[in-house]
Copies of this chain bind each other. A is one copy, B any other.
Amino acid sequence: MSVLVVGTTALDSIKTPYTENPRLLGGSASHAAVAASFFGPTRLVGVVGDDFPTHYIQLYKKHRIDLTGLERIQGGTTFFWSGEYEVNMNNRRTLETVLGVIEHWQPALPGLYESTPFVLLANISPQVQHRVLDQISKPKFVIADTMDLWLNIALPELLKLLKRIDCLVLNDSEARQLVGEDNVVAALPKIHKLGPRYVIVKKGEHGSVLSGPKGLFVAPAYPLHKVVDPTGAGDSFVGGLLGYLASQKSGSIETNLRRALIHGAVVASFCCEGFGLTRTTKATKADIKKRVRELERLAKF
């Protein structure tokens, strides 16, 4: 079944201790849509300016991503982010953000998109996430990703969103912040009380934790010898997991979610091995299957 992804479509300039890469294809929706596209039909909802390079459009198309929902604003500037990573590749700081066309964006969904069964509200303002959700009729499963920025500046809208979604994805420090609880495991039931039936906590290199009606699932990350650029890894994780979930013809969501997290972790591992989307877009379905089998071996006891 189809997946709809809404989020940012951006140009990222990324500095690491080793190198610098200007104006890469980035943004939560770009990473998540490419990740989801490995598993089945994927629809993108995003906005770019006329400075958005044509070869990035070609790259989306190479992944057979439906771009009917990608607006291109004449005279507008594409959302731009630049950041710098420290040696350990975990800490990063933002150098510059130019909102551009994203600032006053009011997404209007193409008619065909309105019946998409699997919806990923990738990281973007809760206002945009609400607006997209308003235009979808009876989705089967809705996941929302978020970040600390929205907890800080748009908490009421985020809390309203939590009542409308099936699954919230956030990292461990955001989980703690959201419910004011130091222990992540103790934070989970408190997050469920805010709405979502499923909560997934991302822990980067330490894997992820799924909490649902049948309890917890502790998922490993794929161990990497080298992290080139972790930007977009969280978006790739959630895109890959929803893409996998939508592609499953049998089994309940509860049952399929565990393997969905594993597939998300594998797509995220490719993301980390190159700048921006450069490594992810070179991965094949066979590469993904191979790493999933490796993770099975790595985690078995």
A residues with CB within 8 A of B: 87-89, 182-186, 203, 205-207, 209, 215-221, 223-227, 258-259, 261-262, 296-301
The smallest beta-carbon distance between A82 and chain B, in angstroms, is 23
- In angstroms, Cα B227 to Cα A183, docked, is 8
The answer to whether B209 and A223 have CB atoms under 8 Å apart is: yes
Quick check: A225 and B300 within 8 Å, CB to CB? no
**Shortest CB distance A290–B (Å):** 14
- Across the interface, A216 reaches (CB within 8 A) one of B87, B223, B261, B301, namely B223
Q: Which among B89, B184, B186, B220 is the interface contact of A220 at CB below 8 angstroms?
A: B220
**18 pairs from A and B in contact (CB 8 Å cutoff):** A183-B224, A183-B225, A183-B227, A186-B226, A203-B206, A209-B223, A215-B297, A215-B298, A217-B298, A217-B299, A217-B301, A218-B220, A218-B223, A218-B298, A220-B220, A259-B301, A261-B301, A262-B301
Q: What is the CA–CA distance of A26 and B167 in the complex, to the nearest angstrom?
A: 43
Contacts of A298 in B (CB 8 A): 215-218
Contact (A301, B258) CB under 8 Å given A206-B203, A206-B206, A220-B218: yes
Nearest CB on B from A133, distance (A): 29
* Bound Cα distance A261, B296 (Å): 17
A261 / chain B contacts, CB cutoff of 8 Å: 301
How far is B261's CA from A298's CA once the two chains are assembled, in angstroms? 13
A219–B296 CA distance with the chains assembled, in angstroms: 12
Write the nearest CB–CB distance from A172 to chain B, whole angstroms. 9
